[in-house]
Structure 1
Amino acid sequence: MLSRLHRAEALNGDDLAALLDNAPGQAAKAILSAAKQGLLDAQTLLGQLLLDGRGIERDPALAVTWFRIAARQGHAMAHNMLGRCLEHGWGIEVDLALAAQHYRKAAEAGLDWGQYNLANLLATGRGVLRDPPQAFALYLRAAAQGHAKSMNLVGRCYEDGQAVLRDVALAHDWYRRSAEAGDFRGQFSHACVLAEQGQTEAAVTWLKRALQHGNLNFLRVARHSLQQAEHLELRHLAGDFFQRAAELGDDSDRALYAAL
């Protein structure tokens, strides 16, 4: 397996995922070797490992270097990840305008993540002129490729009438598709629709799925929303969201949970 990692076609798939899970240090060494040989996928993957500190010492600045190397040769995901670093200040100073440029290159190459990230900037006017219609078009392009987070935001645009005629039924359908594709925000949106329709049991099922994978910011917002829910079953779930946020969060989250 390690020798196969020196070939580009072995840098994706179940074998690599298993090796990263079971022997991350060995996998990182093999990926580093492949990156030094000029394999663009390996260079980009190495950057991601350096960002996460997975199998190798965490070094965001060095991750940026590897993303740049691959991006200069047109690698779409490297452009996207370089944009992420520039947007969030990972290993480099925040530069939203430059982040947008890299997202655009990834988006123009057809990468769903690039389309999604550029759309987020266009929707909010961060680093670029605000352009909701273009943002919606990009969300829709990414959603057509199966991008779950974009599906949820397409639904949000239809529900709110942002850059598109309001269509609640279509919004609900996009929420369902996002939920089924595994996005925790889509699962929450779909659960809210089900609750409004009186399908409380199904709503609880989707909320529990969202709870398992949601990040801290989502958990904080969701727990507050659930506290205000009409149905008792949903209000009870707020405690589970509190607990999960306490596990992932800081002292303030733990203090809030302890006060319940």
Structure 2
Amino acid sequence: MSKLICTFLALLLLSGCTSRPKNIDEMVQQAELGDPSIQSSLAKMYSKGIGTERDYTKALYWYEQAANQGDAKAQTKLGWMYDKGLGVSRDYKQAVIWYRRAAEQGDKWAQNNLGWMYEAGRGVSPDYKQAVVWYRKAAEQGHSRAQNNLGLMYKKGRGVPLDSKIAVDWFSKAAEQGYRCSQNELALMYSKGTGVVKDDLKMFFWFKKSAEQGLAVAQVNLGATYEEGLGVTQDYQKARFWYEKAASTEYASAFHQLSRLYREGLGVEVDIKKADELASKAKALGYECDDTES
């Protein structure tokens, strides 16, 4: 083949002029040829209902085809299918098998999930030290949820010596990436001066970041900062606003906080009947005193 023809073919590839599947039927045909990347993409289409009806059974089949060829992302997804019982009976042991295969190839999602399986004792015996090993591998690759999980292990002293300062470091890394659970955790550390110097302004900042992303516990915490005037000017109306935001998601503690506002007349007229109704709602949702709130 002449250099001119070779160059022309190379340009075709670079310009995207190669034949690509246009619909689900063409994807199936190409997946049947054995390309794991196409098999994995096809599985995702079935899993998400993209270009076809959602079908977890078919998603499972194609993830298996790709996973058996060593595709790490497909292995992670296959583990997830077994973990959640999608297209197959839930099987934590199988989930662990596939998470491990992907994790050992360096897939950070699988590493975090495998860490969780060890922490929760799903499909394996509970082992906090192994959980830390896998959380750390994922966290060091910048996986925000793994960073949060690793922070929690240090905060609780699970699998590692309790170290609030290191916990704060990991919460900070995840919070700065926008992970709302870590933002709430970091705010709690500032509120109590645990692992950091107590700082109500930073506490308010991170509660607000988390609350604005819809985390109900952070919305209640933010409401409490407005109610008590911590790191912000006291404002009962804004406190009620954030409690109501959390209550709209059926978060039990929010109903308790609203009940108290109406019972004590904080920013609203005293309404004992409404206070009792809100308290009953909180109780029905399983409200218990929650020490993660400020």
- In the TM superposition, 1:238-253 aligns within 5 A as 238-243=243-248, 245=249
Instruction: State the shift of 1:235 in Å.
Output: 6.7
2:161 is the counterpart of 1:165: yes
Cα distance in 2 for partners of 1:35, 1:204 equals 47
For 2:186 and 2:61, the matched residues in 1 are separated by: 40
**Once superposed, what is the RMSD of the aligned Cα atoms?**
3.1
The CA deviation at 1:28 is 5.6
Report the Cα distance in structure 1 between the residues aligned to 2:111 and 2:42, rounded to whole angstroms: 22
Preserved CA contact (<8 Å) 1:5 1:31: no
By how many angstroms is 1:88 displaced? 0.9
1:14 counterpart residue number: none
Query: CA, structure 1 residues 174+42, in 2 after alignment: closer, same or farther (shift >3 Å)?
Result: same
* Displacement of 1:136: 0.5
Of the candidates 203, 210, 220, which is equivalent to residue 206 of structure 2? Answer: 203
Task: Show the counterpart of 1:15.
Answer: none
CA distance in 2, matches of 1:48, 1:162: 35
Which of 231, 236, 242 is equivalent to 1:237?
242
3-state SS, counterpart of residue 203 of structure 1: helix
The answer as to whether partners of 2:67 and 2:75 remain within 8 angstroms in 1 is yes
Counterpart CA distance in 1 for 2:84 and 2:141 is 25
With over 3 angstroms needed to count, the CA separation of the structure-2 counterparts of 1:148 and 1:235, relative to structure 1, is farther
The count of aligned residue pairs is 223
Q: What's the counterpart of residue 19 of structure 1?
A: none
Aligned to 1:41: 37
- TM-score in terms of structure 2 length: 0.66
CA radius of gyration, larger in = 2
Check the 8 A contact 1:194/1:202 in 2, yes or no. no
What does residue 124 of structure 1 align with?
Answer: 120
Aligned to 2:86: 90
Q: Per the alignment, do residues 207 and 130 of structure 1 end up closer, same or farther by CA in structure 2, a change over 3 Å counting?
A: same
User: Shift of residue 68 of structure 1?
Assistant: 0.3
- Note the 1:84-233 alignment, pairs <5 A: 84-196=80-192, 197-199=199-201, 200-211=203-214, 219=216, 222=217, 226=221, 229=224, 232=227
Change (3 A) 1:198 1:100: same
Contact 2:103–2:114 (CA under 8 A) maintained in structure 1: yes
**Cα separation, 2, equivalents of 1:4 and 1:205:** 49
Tell me the distance in 1 between the aligned counterparts of 2:63 and 2:71. Answer: 9
Structure 2: 5+ residue stretches without partners: 1-14, 193-198, 228-237, 251-277, 283-294
TM-score, normalization by structure 1: 0.74
Task: Give the counterpart letter for 1:54 in structure 2.
Answer: I
Q: Note if contact 1:155-1:174 (Cα within 8 Å) is conserved in structure 2.
A: yes
Kindly indicate which of the two structures has a greater share of residues assigned to helix: 1
Helix, strand or coil at the partner of 2:213: helix
Aligned in 2, Cα 1:112/1:159: closer, same or farther, shift over 3 Å? same
Whether the aligned pair in 2 keeps the contact of 1:85 and 1:91 (CA below 8 Å) is: yes
Q: 1:239 to 1:45 in 2, by over 3 A?
A: farther
- Counterpart in 1 of 2:6? none
Tell me which amino acid in the other structure corresponds to 1:208: A
User: Quick one: distance in 2 between partners of 1:30 and 1:3?
Assistant: 16
8 A Cα contact 2:82 2:90, kept in partner:
yes
Match of 1:11 in 2: none
Match of residue 72 from structure 2? 76
> Taking every aligned residue pair, what percent have the same amino acid on both sides?
28
